[in-house]
Amino acid sequence: KAVSRQVSELRVILEQQEAKDREREWVAHQASGELDDQRLVDGVTGEKLVYRRRMEPDLPLGQQQTKPKRLSFVVDVSASMSRFNGEDGRLDRMVQAVVMLMESLQGFEHKYQW
């Protein structure tokens, strides 16, 4: 196996990943933080709450993430991949990368959908 070491390394990383119950999002109308581009005119007129910050939103109880993360993979299968494979091995590398991903994700169906 050309990618067996990489498969084991990726499996360790996938095991350590925990799905967050809540993702951070931009919260506007803050007194400090990053300047909100949509509130520039308000800032010129004297408004103080023209900043935004990344924060975890307040979600009602019972709304926790229970579904696995969804993963999508885009793979180039155009004719140029096989045409230039003899020169730089691009098709072989892509096949190895896809094999590494699929073998690493095997057994993690409860955490990831692909």
Q: What is the DSSP string of the chain?
A: -TTHHHHHHHHHHHHH----SS--EEEEEESSSEE-GGGHHHHHTT-S--EEEEE-----TT----SPEE-------SHHHHHSHHHH-HHHHHHHHHHHHHHHHTT-TTTEE-
Q: What is the dihedral of CA 64, 67, 68, 71, to 10 degrees?
A: -100
Q: Are strands 69-70 and 51-55 parallel, antiparallel or unpaired?
A: unpaired
Give percent of the chain with pLDDT exceeding 90. 59
> Tens digit of pLDDT for each residue in 20-71?
656 678 899 999 999 999 999 999 999 999 999 998 766 555 544 467 888 9
Give percent of the chain with pLDDT exceeding 70. 85
- pTM score > 0.85 for this model? no
Question: Which pLDDT value is given to residue 16?
Answer: 79
Average pLDDT of span 11-23: 74
Question: Which pLDDT value is given to residue 64?
Answer: 47
